Amino acid sequence: MTLVARGFFITFEGGEGGGKSTQIRRLADRLGATGREVVTTREPGGSPGAEAIRALLVTGEVERWSPITETLLINAARRDHIERIIRPALARGATVLCDRFADSTRAYQGAGGGAPETLITALETAVLGGLKADLTLILDLPAEMGLARASGRGGAETRFEAKPLDFHARLRAAFLAIAEAEPDRCVLIDASRDEATVAAAIWSWVKSRIGPP
C-alpha cells in the first residue's frame, strides 16, 4: 500500500566519515525548536527487529556476507523499519530524519558490491511500497578523507569501513550519479568543510523545502 505522508521525510546519504549522524542531531535540534515533532532514525536499524539485523551486517569479517545476502538482509530490516517507525511517524505529521535509506543499498551493495540492479529494483518496489524521501541530502567528500575521519570513531561497526579504497571510490561515484539523476529530490552537500558550515548549508536547503510546521 502506498503511503500518503502528512509529515516530511528527509534522508541523509553518503560514504563513510561524512558526518551524517552529527548533522542529523544538529538538524533535529533546529527543527524541534520550530515546534515540529522530529523522529531521528537510521538504517540498517531503527526498529528493534531491524537493529538485530544491523548487528549482523556491520560487524564481523569484511567478507562475512555476499552483496546479494547483504541486500536481502538490509531489505528485511528496512521493511520492519518502515512498518514500525517511518510510516507511523509520517502519518501523524512528524518530520523523519533517517541516516541512510534505499540509496545506500544502490551504492553499497549495488555499485560497491556488484549486487544485480534488477534484484535491488525489485526489492525496492516490494519493500518501499511507494515510500520515497521528500528530500535527500548527500554528504559528499573524497573517499580518502572520509575513511580518515571514520577511522577515529572506534567501536565494532567497522565492517564496511574496512573494505578497500576502490570500493569506497565506487560508493562516492554512485552517490554522485544518484544526485545527478534525481535533482528534484537530492541535494549534494560538500561535507569536506567544517561542521558548522555544513550545518548551515543543510539548514538553508531544508528551510527552502519543508515549509511551515
- pLDDT above 60 for 130: yes
Burial class, 169, CB count within 10 angstroms (exposed 0-12 / middle 13-18 / buried 19+): middle
3-state secondary structure (DSSP) of residue 98: strand
- pLDDT above 80 for 213: no
> CA 96, 156, 111, 109 torsion: positive or negative?
negative
Contact between 188 and 199 (Cβ < 8 Å): no
Query: Tens of pLDDT along 148-182?
Result: 888 867 666 788 888 989 999 999 999 999 999 99
Per the prediction, the chain carries an average pLDDT of: 93
Helix then strand then coil, in percent of the chain rounded to 5, is: 55, 15, 35
Q: What percent of the chain has pLDDT over 90?
A: 84
Domains and CATH numbers, the chain: 8-210 (3.40.50.300)
Specify the DSSP class assigned to residue 3. -
Contact between 98 and 12 (Cβ < 8 Å): yes
pLDDT at 18: 92
Cβ atoms within 10 Å, residue 146: 24
What's the Rg (C-alpha) of the chain? 16
Question: For residues 109 and 128, what is the distance between their CA atoms, to the nearest angstrom?
Answer: 17
* Assigned C-alpha cell, 118: 534488477
Instruction: Show the CA angle centred on residue 17, arms to residues 204 and 114, nearest 5°.
Output: 105
- pLDDT above 60 for 1: no
Query: Mean pLDDT, to the nearest integer, of 53-73?
Result: 94
Nearest Cα to 17, choosing from 132, 172, 130, 179?
172
Give 3's pLDDT tier (boundaries 50, 70, 90).
Answer: very low
Helix (H) or strand (E) holding 22: helix 20-32
Give 4's pLDDT tier (boundaries 50, 70, 90).
Answer: very low
Per the document, the length of the chain is 213
- pLDDT above 60 for 36: yes
Contact between 32 and 94 (Cβ < 8 Å): no
Is this structure's pTM higher than 0.95? no
- pLDDT above 50 for 2: no
Question: For residues 190 and 84, what is the distance between their CA atoms, to the nearest angstrom?
Answer: 33
